[in-house]
Structure 1
């Protein structure tokens, strides 16, 4: 997240400029439009409590729901009525196939039209095309639908009808016409619904009357066909059936008793008289039978047979009587049920018939007083002020799109960027080199108005840039004898990586540790740095010493603010590449090392001029400056290959200018920026 924020914060001016350009584009686009006017009328829906359309039908109140009403508002039939009422087919605003009225455009519209004509040429007038009346009517209705809006406040029955046109009076007429057309359509719909319901009720009433008569006739016929037994008689018959069944059960018990006595009597035949008397005394039934017919077993068997036959005959007669009574009881019960059901159906049909007749009478009366289910609270009036043309909204939307586009472009550019951006990248490319990161000089102001000022190098305030220069100074002085002068070649791969700036800052830092420093500026492209230090073009310099035999002390310039001496390039007759190949340059360097502790030689970029290759032969160390997000791995490898045939030496240093400083400080810095936003 912090890495992404660092990338976007570094490109904040580009993002801001892109957003401003898009917003300015939105300002121009909205300025070229004609001013529109919006009129509004307010409509309230009123649901009738006795809605005729809900009587015996599935049609509820058509416009009780505002959302449903809005759908009806925008329906084509309603808009067609409005188009016919206001003759909008003859209006060029809604009929694009008619010639528009000539209006005086605004100055901004004239400017935009002039730019469009200059870029794309004049617009050719299209030949008239004969279109059908239906197509033209559909197009007019569609444009009217686009110019009308309906707003429904939540949980209310209010509907705001808004119409937007280029004419304030036309907007008011259109809003009122749409509201009135809706009420007329609603009233017409309700009346049509009443007619349908009345017709349905009439047909149903005829069917009910016929059904009632048929059932009444069937009830009378049933009364005439057979006698209908009342429920009391049915209950008496059921009681008699129950009594007969109980009697039949008693006879069945008598038969069982007779069979047992018959078996007992047969057992007595093989016994003696004393045993028979004892057995008869034990069985009560045998004792009663003996008293009745005597002790003879044959007489006993005959009596038992007579009793059994008599019980069987009585049981058979009882079964026949019970079956007959049950059949009569079932038949009378079914007849009574049918009769009761038919009576209830006749009563229900009579009630439905009477209700339908009353409802039909009510609907016939109510049809004369039916309303449209709504009314206009207030009508639209001609607006005095035009709309804002959506300028602010358009500018905000385009500004947001501009920000998204700029961020996307920056991220894509960063993803495809093959340049060196961190000291780790440089360390991977040059594993044996001494790599030092030097952050950028903190300069304020707009990106296009930032200028290098000498005060930025003279400040005593501790910055990430000054810390990086101190690290570079320590690395450069490490391993060098304290009592020996040192010549340092400052080179770079490309133009604009900050080589000369690092040279000046390093020289000032060396002066802080009591080092006498001479800077030989042999870069012919360093005119800006020369003016920064001197203020004007010098007359004597490197060329005067090498060609004219000028003494070094007379040619150098003492920069008191930086605390260093400068030998500048005058560029009078020869280029630095020619001067650095002279043998006198070697003599100059030896003389300078006798008078100064450190001599910094600032040459042109390796890929721009061959100056650096000549100087590399005479120096003790080389400081190779690369630019963060400027130098690539290819440019560094090619430059070092041309500068050193055997590669970097153990004493050479590579500086990455523009890289971030200490990671902890960098993280805290961007967290602070992010927290402020």
Structure 2
């Protein structure tokens, strides 16, 4: 019942652990650092793989046949150089598009071009070309140049093989940002490489010209047929136009054509006469209006005002009137001189009136004549309008015939001109120029040993990466505390660097040592496990022997005792005791004595003055440790010790294969599990944990031991945090 009472506190304890584990879980190892740790763990295998692939690459490179690459550079212009100033069949804007150059590159790699090169160089008839590439064209192991004994099927097969060899070894490389293209061919023979590269360019130029000539032949045949049809249509439309004009008495004086040669208008005889009469009527109307205006002004018209005779008489009258006024100042009106001047004024007034009357009469006469002429022209225009209206009705159909004639004439003239141009289009025109002909190379282009070594190294790195990934997936061990929560659902209490047992025990004398700092960190985690701080009693176990549990139990006892606690360390591994060796004492009495019936507990406990805590060794090895642990005395022992000591630590045996742990676990407050980094597989640890939990024991958490600083993300803590403040560097921990 006491055990059950202790277990009821486990939820609270686990809550304390979870809080601590959440803080630790925030300290996740960066992904890049995980990669570097994996590489560091498998560095020897990686080095072997990379060096092996490099060596293999060097061997393969030395065994490869050297190839020589010859290159001919050509220029492909978008605008063609033409001898004749006529256009070809293809539109000029074809070369202005990106598709033009893509088409040229595809033509340079076309099978038809390889066919032309094979024929021009007679590559399929002899064996020299095939021998250069170490290929048997007849597939019988015997290379024979006797063409007379070859069947048509053999010749076809040799021809196809030659084409395939050319296409496999030719390469087209456009020069970026220009219209230049490099045509390269590689083969074991430098002379053959140069010859094929030059032949390839020459055949490309010839094929370009052949395509132009072939296209003109088809075009001429087509145009000849169309010209015959259009000529007949043009003659027929012209006859219909003339016949209709004669029937309708349409006399065309002139025609107007646009820039394309189409008739857009014209003058007929009636329209010309109507235009002339209409102009005359307009002039007559203007004259009649002007004459009517003069007749309506009663002598105050413009002609009367501007008449020089009237103006002269008026000027003279004004002068005489002025002189007459001066005379009247001095003399009476009856004065002879005054009377003479008065008579002159009267005569001038009479003359002016007669002249104005004459001009008024002339204006009326001109108005009458202008009105008569206007009416006469109006009658003539009305008659011509009637005739012109009828002609316009006839002109509609006439224009239809005229447009048909114009359309047929334009089509005929355009095709006739095109027919004449096609005869000379493409003659001497070429948009391809050879910039640099291919020369026989002096140095082989392949194999390149540095490039092959680089590729081999990259391949080796890839294989090494795959090796690391596969190894990481296969490796199911625990490497650092971050794996505890994720893979085992255990609270990480801390970790201990990889050091020898003797080094750890000796370092505990120095409170600035790495070992002391590591276990101080674990002791801090223990203080959060229960509501009363560190557990009053706990045992330390592991999955298998030699995982560092005994050393950790010894170190925790030393660390806890340094905090003014009264600590007892019990060697609970009665099958393979080790505590007496660590304290350099004889294992003559201890736990096995008490379980066998010795009640003198104080005599079984020893004080360790140098370490500051008490110890109880395992005692003599019993024949059956499980029977002793199953007795009620074990529970009675721990109840007594918990009253006498602040903390009781049990160095328990490993879990797997033994029944000791389930028996011991019920006697203490909880279990602290010790796991060696990179040691036992996760599956084995899970099996051991199931055995511990089957006894309803509380597992506080786990400690990772033998952690290598170069293998996990916690190495920085040991190299920096735990070593911080030390004056002299510590010796490197053993593997």
CA 1:522 to 1:620, structure 2 compared with 1: closer, same or farther past 3 Å? same
Question: How has the CA–CA distance of structure 1 residues 637 and 352 changed in structure 2, closer, same or farther, with 3 Å as cutoff?
Answer: closer
8 Å Cα contact 1:45/1:63 also seen in 2: no
Q: Which residue of 2 aligns with 1:30?
A: 57
Aligned CA distance change for structure 1 residues 563 and 24 (closer, same or farther; 3 Å): farther
- Partner-residue secondary structure (3-state), 2:495: coil
Cα deviation, 1:85-116, whole Å, max 9, x if unaligned, reads 45544455556985999xxxxxxxxxxxxxxx
How many angstroms apart in 2 are the aligned matches of 1:49 and 1:187?
15
Q: Indicate yes or no: 2:38 matched with 1:14.
A: yes
Contact map agreement 1:518 1:566 (CA 8 A) in 2: yes
Give the match's secondary structure for 2:182. strand
Would the alpha carbon gap of residues 91 and 209 (structure 1) be closer, same or farther in structure 2, given more than 3 Å must change? same
Q: Kindly indicate whether residue 111 of structure 2 is the aligned counterpart of residue 76 of structure 1.
A: yes
Distance 2:396 2:669 in 1: 131
Tell me whether 502-511 or 50-59 shows the greater mean CA deviation: 50-59
Q: Is the 8 A contact 1:209 1:353 kept in 2?
A: no
- How far off its partner does 1:177 sit? 0.9
1:238 and 2:274 matched: yes
Q: Does 1:471 align with 2:507?
A: no
Q: Map residues 219-368 of structure 1 onto 2, 5 A cutoff.
A: 222=242, 228-229=252-253, 231=267, 233-238=269-274, 326-327=389-390, 331=394, 353=416, 357=420, 359=421, 362-363=424-425, 366-367=427-428
The question of whether the paired residues in 1 share the 8 Å contact of 2:82 and 2:430 is answered with no
Aligned to 1:381: 441
Alpha-carbon distance in 2 for matches of 1:481, 1:328: 127
Question: 1:440 and 2:495 equivalent?
Answer: yes
Q: What is the rounded CA distance, in whole Å, between the counterparts of 2:531 and 2:407 in structure 1? A: 121
Deviation at 1:500, TM superposition (A): 2.7
Q: Write out per-residue CA displacement over residues 424-478 of structure 1, whole angstroms, 9 at most, x where no aligned residue.
A: 998x89xxxxx7x4222244xxxxxx86672495362578833442235546898
In 2, the alpha carbon distance for the partners of 1:217 and 1:4 equals 97
Aligned equivalents of 2:690 and 2:57: distance in 1? 53
Q: 1:541 to 1:49 in 2, by over 3 A?
A: same
1:635 aligned onto 2:688:
yes
**Counterpart contact for 2:233–2:408, Cα < 8 Å:** no
The 1:561/1:653 distance shift into structure 2, 3 A limit, reads: farther
Length-normalised TM-score, structure 2: 0.52
Cα distance change, pair 615–635 in 1 and its aligned pair in 2 (3 A): closer
Contact 2:494/2:525 (8 A) holds in 1: no
Change (3 A) 1:592 1:185: same
Partner of 2:558: 508
Range with bigger deviation, 557-566 or 183-192 = 557-566
Q: After superposition, what is the alpha-carbon deviation per residue over 1:576-603, rounded to whole angstroms, capped at 9, x for unaligned?
A: 6689799999999999999998664423
The alignment partner of 2:496 has SS state of coil
CA contact (8 A) 1:215 1:342 kept: yes
Alignment of 1:98-177 (within 5 A): 138=160, 141-142=163-164, 144-164=166-186, 167=188, 169=189, 173-174=192-193, 176-177=195-196
Alpha-carbon contact 2:130-2:137 (below 8 Å) kept: no
Q: How many residues align?
A: 532
**Cα distance in 1 for residues equivalent to 2:84 and 2:518:** 88
Using the TM superposition, give the Cα deviation of residue 505 of structure 1 relative to its aligned residue in structure 2, in angstroms: 2.3
- Kindly indicate whether the alpha-carbon contact (under 8 Å) linking 1:521 and 1:566 is maintained by their aligned counterparts in 2: no
Question: TM-score scaled by structure 1?
Answer: 0.56
Whose Rg is larger? 2
- The offset of 1:639, in angstroms, is 1.9
Aligned to 2:654: 605
Q: After TM superposition, list the pairs within 5 Å mapping 1:615-630 onto structure 2.
A: 621-625=669-673, 627=675, 630=682
- TM-fit CA distance, 1:185: 2.9
Offset, 1:506: 0.6
Cα contact 2:113–2:203 (8 A) shared by 1: no
* Match of residue 541 from structure 1: 587
Q: Is the 8 A contact 1:473 1:509 kept in 2?
A: no
Distance 1:526 1:97 in 2: 83
Distance 2:500 2:69 in 1: 57
Q: Is 1:522–2:577 an aligned residue pair? A: no
Aligned-pair distance for 1:524?
A: 5.5
Structure 1 gap segments, 5+ residues each: 102-130, 247-316, 430-434, 444-449, 661-665
Does 155-164 or 401-410 show the bigger shift? 401-410
SS in structure 2 opposite 1:440?
A: strand
Query: Does the CA-based 8 Å contact 1:604-1:611 persist in structure 2?
Result: yes
Give per-residue Cα distances to partners, 1:247-305, cap 9 Å, x unaligned.
xxxxxxxxxxxxxxxxxxxxxxxxxxxxxxxxxxxxxxxxxxxxxxxxxxxxxxxxxxx
Unpaired segments ≥5 residues, structure 2: 1-24, 143-152, 255-266, 283-379, 708-712, 721-735
Q: Secondary structure at 2:113's aligned position in 1?
A: helix
What SS does the corresponding residue of 2:71 show, helix, strand or coil?
A: strand
In 2: Cα distance, 1:144 partner to 1:542 partner: 92
Would the alpha carbon gap of residues 320 and 633 (structure 1) be closer, same or farther in structure 2, given more than 3 Å must change?
A: same
Distance 2:621 2:138 in 1: 76
Q: What is residue 41 of structure 1 aligned with on the other side? A: 71
Q: CA deviation at 1:197?
A: 2.2
| Alpha-carbon distance in 1 for matches of 2:561, 2:271 | 136
CA distance in 2, matches of 1:3, 1:597: 32
What secondary structure sits across from 2:657 in the alignment? coil
Asked whether the equivalents of residues 546 and 588 of structure 1 are also in contact (C-alpha less than 8 Å), the reply is no
Give the Cα separation in 2 of the matches to 1:211 and 1:614.
117
> Aligned residue for 1:656?
702
Secondary structure, counterpart of 1:399 in structure 2: helix
**Distance change (3 Å), C-alpha of 1:75 and 1:565:** farther
User: Structure 1, residues 464-499: CA drift from partner, whole Å, max 9, x if none?
Assistant: 8334422355468986999xxx87543345557653
